[in-house]
Amino acid sequence: MDRIKLHDKFFRPFIPNDRIESAIDAVAEKVNLDFEGCEDIPVVICTLTGAIMFTSELLKRLRFQCEVSCIKLSSYQGTRSTGTVLTMLGLTGDVKGRRVIICEDIVDTGNTILALQEMLLAQGAAEVRICTLLLKPDVYDKDVKLDYVAMEIPNAFIVGFGLDYDELGRQYKDIYVLDQ
């Protein structure tokens, strides 16, 4: 793992892929305990584009039948959250009467996850569970319960493993942090 440059910023190694994979193993086991042997078929929703790698890895580890759907929301511009959640691509499947597992790459302020949960419940989801690769507990200030958290991290700007800086850096298998 070497320092990388994306646009005008440098990022240094932060979380190696083996730690990410171990965290996904552990969180998948928790999801499996709750859903294995279920009669219904839950819907796993990938929040594009950041959660695509996490969702892919999680799906490989699930031991129950599920459908996969995607949605694209955005609240970031550059390295900062705008505080406003925009729907860029609507939900690609029906959730009415279904149990839903949201797969999120990172939860920081919680604005996006709260908006998505409200949207899914308004569309008739029977239950909404939240599964995130990363949580920034120092800035998460919502009352919404996060059901599955793979890792907690400090409030720092990161890229890699699906996360980006102005659309660059998603392809790295490790996670990098902004090098101030």
Task: Tell me what percent of the residues of the chain surpass a pLDDT of 70.
Answer: 89
Residue with tokens 């390295």: 79
Among 94, 105, 108, 147, which one carries the catalytic annotation? 108
pLDDT at 180: 83
For the beta carbon of residue 154, count every other beta carbon within 10 angstroms.
Answer: 11
Per-domain residue ranges for the chain? Answer: 17-155
Q: So what's the architecture of 17-155 in CATH?
A: 3-Layer(aba) Sandwich (3.40)
**Residue 108 annotated among the catalytic residues of the structure:** yes
pTM, entire model: 0.91
Cα distances (angstroms) measured from residue 74 to each of 23, 77, 126: 25, 8, 25
pLDDT tens digits for 77-113? 555 655 666 665 667 778 999 999 999 999 999 988 9
pLDDT at 26: 98
pLDDT at 120: 93
pLDDT tens digits for 43-86? 999 998 899 999 999 999 999 999 999 998 776 555 565 566 66
pLDDT at 94: 86
Sheet with 67-77: list strands edge to edge.
80-89, 67-77, 43-48, 99-107, 127-135, 148-152
pLDDT at 90: 66
Residue in 23, 18, 21, 20 with CA at minimum distance from that of residue 149? 23
pLDDT at 157: 96
For residue 154, is pLDDT > 80?
A: yes
Q: At what angle do helices 52-61 and 17-35 cross, to 10 degrees?
A: 60
